[in-house]
Amino acid sequence: MNIVLATSEVAPFAKTGGLADVCGSLPIALKQRGLDICVIMPAFRQIHSSGMPLRDLNIEFDVPISGKVVSGKLLESRLPGSDVPIYFIAQDDYFSRPELYVESGVDYQDNCERFSFFSRAVLEAIRLLDLPVDLIHCNDWPTGLIPAYLDIEYAKTPGYEQIASLYTIHNLAYQGVFWHWDMLLTGLDWRHFNWRQMEHHGQLNFMKTGIVFADSISTVSRRYAEEIQTSEYGCGLEETLRYRGDVVSGIMNGVDYRVWNPATDDLLQRQYDAETFVEGKAACKRALQQELGLADEPNTPLLGFVGRLAEQKGIELIVETMRNWLPGHDTQWAILGTGEQRYHEALAELGRQFPQHCGVRLEFSNKLAHQIEAGVDVFLMPSQYEPSGLNQLYSLKYGATPVVRKTGGLADTITDAGPETLAAGTANGYVFEPFDPGAFAWTLGRALDCYRHRTDEWRAIIENGMRQDWSWSASAEKYEQLYELTLHRHRSADASARS
């Protein structure tokens, strides 16, 4: 099976979030299963500082954009540690910028034009590179036009007629919404700007376009596939998703254990596994306390968070609990991330008030992210919604007991520690459901009570998590099955259209 994975970001070339991690790891796992796969992404400025080798293929092309012709060219590299090719769509006016989508917190005004160009360029690259393609796997709003172009403009083009499309939603909240006159930039006929296809509340919506035109739709966890078809989580697209509900499925993201494995992690003070985690985590906890300027208190529970400081991540629940607990509770906190200014200010103030018990770093640091996973006793993910989540999976491997809200991928991966699950050996964390500070603090209190008073249970929870396998191998197998189903679906629809 021949697959093209189209995406706007891939680790380590260019990254803003978990999408890059998925698109940097899944293709390698699929290649190991025998699939012929390549990746196509924009040649952002960041790829040149990634340290990865790049080759100019000396292939140039033209793409029509709203009455003008825009030229581009193709570059090539390989995903690290593999022979999976990755091709870059180079167009400096569009992609050689300081950031990928926004700058100083403001979206680039020509994002519609930039990613219309990218979507057409992906399809042109298939022809120019003479790629045999059975299916294009599209990811999130920047690739939402590809299924539409494939269905409307390329369906009868020799070499494209049998290509199926899968559209994966990594986060429905980011939809690629633009002014209705930007429809002209896509080059598609105005008749497709209607409420059943590309229009949503009077605007052009890339995410909706991908949902409508793709042969199959997937999300990054089973529960999120169900949630996005409800008014609470559907972000206004729930009716469109319910209409296409028979082709919507969920596949949990995996972890690249070449990168996230405490037994081989060179960023840690001491490496460890499920057999040696007691001593290993103690050494890493001591090193983390020193790094953050926290008191050297080995028995004080150390709680951690790594991620975006945004409402979605439940940061207000963490901040309120910290305010209530830090003055009198025997806890330490390690916070790493950037985001909304109000959370920057609140967390920085707590760090100043309680320097020996609250370590806050308002930045991104891959090294510190690994050290927090290894050094903390509890990892916090009280998310308002979480399509898949990766940090809870990292935490399981690193023996940092997750405390999570029951939503999306968190609900699919974390089993609450109760009498039955502890007896069955399936408990691997603590789970709460109501999105409020009281429910979060109560569940966190349950976890800390176990940590302080029931050592054997606590160790069993850690061991359960560390021995679980959340590698990409199982997810890749499910994607391969979905690819086969999508191909069958596309060819059956094509045969019906011809009859």
Indicate whether 372 pLDDT > 80.
yes
Tell me, what's the pLDDT at 291?
A: 98
Indicate whether 496 pLDDT > 70.
no
Tell me, what's the pLDDT at 390?
A: 92
354 and 383 fall within a common domain = yes
Is the Cα dihedral 221, 222, 225, 231 positive or negative?
negative
Q: What is the mean pLDDT of residues 176-186?
A: 97
Tell me, what's the pLDDT at 287?
A: 98
Tell me, what's the pLDDT at 163?
A: 97
Q: What is the mean pLDDT of residues 2-22?
A: 93
The pLDDT confidence band at residue 104, using thresholds 50, 70 and 90, is: confident
> Which CATH number fits the domain that encloses residue 10?
3.40.50.2000
Tell me, what's the pLDDT at 401?
A: 98
Q: Is residue 178 part of a domain?
A: yes
183 and 284 fall within a common domain = no
Give the pLDDT confidence of 119-144 residue by residue, as tens digits.
999 999 999 999 999 999 999 999 99
Tell me, what's the pLDDT at 316?
A: 97
The pLDDT confidence band at residue 17, using thresholds 50, 70 and 90, is: confident
Tell me, what's the pLDDT at 492?
A: 87
Across the chain, mean pLDDT equals 95
Q: What is the mean pLDDT of residues 98-107?
A: 90
Q: What is the mean pLDDT of residues 212-230?
A: 97
> Length of the chain, please?
499
Q: Is residue 266 part of a domain?
A: no
342 and 417 fall within a common domain = yes
Q: What is the mean pLDDT of residues 92-97?
A: 97
Tell me, what's the pLDDT at 328?
A: 85
Q: What is the mean pLDDT of residues 47-58?
A: 91
The pLDDT confidence band at residue 16, using thresholds 50, 70 and 90, is: confident
Q: Is residue 61 part of a domain?
A: yes
Indicate whether 325 pLDDT > 80.
yes
199 and 99 fall within a common domain = yes
Tell me, what's the pLDDT at 52?
A: 87
431 and 480 fall within a common domain = no
Give the pLDDT confidence of 383-428 residue by residue, as tens digits.
999 999 999 999 999 999 999 999 999 999 999 999 999 999 999 9
The predicted model scores a pTM of: 0.92
Strand 378-381, strand 302-306: pairing: parallel
Percentage, residues of the chain above pLDDT 70:
99
Indicate whether 499 pLDDT > 60.
no
Indicate whether 46 pLDDT > 80.
yes
The pLDDT confidence band at residue 495, using thresholds 50, 70 and 90, is: low
340 and 353 fall within a common domain = yes
158 and 21 fall within a common domain = yes
Q: What is the mean pLDDT of residues 67-77?
A: 96
The residue assigned the tokens 């870059």 is 88
Tell me, what's the pLDDT at 497?
A: 63
The residue range of the domain holding 213 is: 2-254+473-498
d(CA 418, CA 404): 15
Q: Is residue 265 part of a domain?
A: no
Cis peptide before 12 (omega within 30 of 0): yes
The pLDDT confidence band at residue 498, using thresholds 50, 70 and 90, is: low
The tally of domains found in the chain comes to 2
Lowest mean pLDDT among 40-44, 207-211, 261-265, 305-309: 305-309
d(CA 347, CA 356): 14
Q: Is residue 262 part of a domain?
A: no
436 and 487 fall within a common domain = no
Give the pLDDT confidence of 242-275 residue by residue, as tens digits.
999 999 999 999 998 989 999 999 999 999 999 9
290 and 389 fall within a common domain = yes
226 and 325 fall within a common domain = no
Q: Which residues are CB-neighbours of 122 under 8 A, at least 6 positions away? A: 4, 6, 40, 89, 136, 143, 146
250 and 318 fall within a common domain = no
197 and 286 fall within a common domain = no
Tell me, what's the pLDDT at 213?
A: 98
Indicate whether 329 pLDDT > 80.
no
